[in-house]
Amino acid sequence: MNAKLIIGLFLGVVMVASTFIVVFTGLGVAQPRQAPQEESFEEAPLEGYFPTVTFKIPLSEGDSLTLRAVSQGPEGTRTAVNRVTVDSVGWPESGITLEVLEAGDPVATSTPQSGALATTMLALPLDMLDSESITIPVYIPPARGGLCMTLDQTGVGEGEFGEVVSYEGAAQVGDYAVTVELEYYTSTGLVSRVFIGIVGPEFSYSYTHELVEYEVSGEATEVSVEWACSGDGFSSNLTYVREGLALLQDGKLVYITPEEFREVLAGDAVFAVYSKACPFCHQDWSHLLKTSEEVDVPIVMVILGPMIGERESTAARLEMNKASVEGTPTLVFYVDGRIVDKLVGFTPWDYKVEKIREVYGG
């Protein structure tokens, strides 16, 4: 299997984005620590790099939704009932306060991390309603990770509070097959049910929550945000980027095999090591994408996260060990397959470009 089982309670993974996290024995890989900064820079995403998108979300401050959550895994079935009160409406996450109303097992209580919850777990933007397909950020509680996915409409039916429209989607991430089902009420845009399942070589997990009660104003909130999300697993928010090995060219990710990964590093190349659990990596993400548009040297990267495949993880770890990578983000510079230098921690895109030209010329 491609990840070690981590036994015990999940007490919090430092990430930019979060949602309902089912607390049970989870999936994960040992993550390198956050890299120390080589120089002092203001740690901020590159403003204006992604397009500004406005969403009209059918939620407002003070709205309350009660959700029944069920998780299923090797430890059995666990349930919880939670009341979510919206503190602020945002995208891809909204600020919330959670009240646990019922937990069949304290270990199974579903809790949001840092008072945030993926908005798509509560409601869909009004401009997405009744679309044949939707591309949205999906948080995957069993793996404590996220993914941008395209879901296709599969039908119309009846729910407890009226007519519902159903969507389904699937993705392969490393060794894991991910399935998502989502239903929303046409009258309100509120999500009536979410099912998220992960099936791997030796285990499977699933998470479901259903809307059982709600008190909402009926008013929508407009949210403008720099945002990109595509069905192949790319996102402006690193939380929702697909784990794995990839070649970064002109701001686009092309996922590659371990064999292709090793082939690229046999020549002149930059090896970028990023983790979805690293705050500096989130801040640095847009700067790295911009860098790839300004240089000719190939940038090959590993995006570490709970669902990275075993072969991809092994290939990346071997190179990380060779380069003595101790934290993320780190850039490793290869010349004719030899490691000649490293750049550690958050760095602005122009600093990266200057360093790459220093190493490779041009």
The answer on pLDDT for 34 being more than 80 is: no
CATH level 3 topology of 4-27+49-226: outer membrane lipoprotein receptor (LolB), chain A (2.50.20)
> Among 176, 178, 158, 160, which Cα is nearest to 168's?
178
d(CA 339, CA 324): 10
For 55-114, the pLDDT digits (tens) are: 999 999 999 999 999 988 887 888 889 999 999 999 999 999 988 898 765 434 445 556
Angstrom CA distances, 346 to 65, 75, 150, 251, 327, stand at 38, 40, 31, 18, 11
Residue 41: the pLDDT is: 65
Instruction: Please answer whether residues 174 and 308 qualify as being in contact, where contact means their C-beta atoms are separated by less than 8 angstroms.
Output: yes
- Amino acid 15: pLDDT: 29
- Is the pLDDT score of 14 beyond 50? no
Contact 228/269 with Cβ under 8 angstroms?
no
Range 145-181 burial, b when 16+ CB lie within 10 A, else e: bbbbbbbeeeeeeebeeeebbbbebebebbbbebebb
> Of 23 and 171, which is predicted with more confidence?
171
Mean pLDDT of all residues in 25-33: 43
Q: Is domain 238-360 annotated with CATH 3.40.50.170?
A: no
Of the listed ranges 108-112, 175-179, 345-349, the one predicted with least confidence: 108-112
Q: Cβ distance 307 to 337 under 8 Å? A: no
Name the pLDDT band for 26 (thresholds 50, 70, 90). Answer: very low
pTM recorded for the entire structure:
0.85
What is the predicted pLDDT for the residue at 169? 97
Which pLDDT band holds residue 174 (cuts at 50, 70, 90)? confident
Average pLDDT over every residue of 215-223: 97
> What is the residue extent of each domain of the chain?
4-27+49-226, 238-360
Angle at 192 between CA 168 and CA 101, to 5 degrees: 130
CA distances from 276 to 31, 93, 127, 348 (A): 9, 16, 29, 19
Asked if 168 contacts 154 with a C-beta cutoff of 8 angstroms, the reply is yes
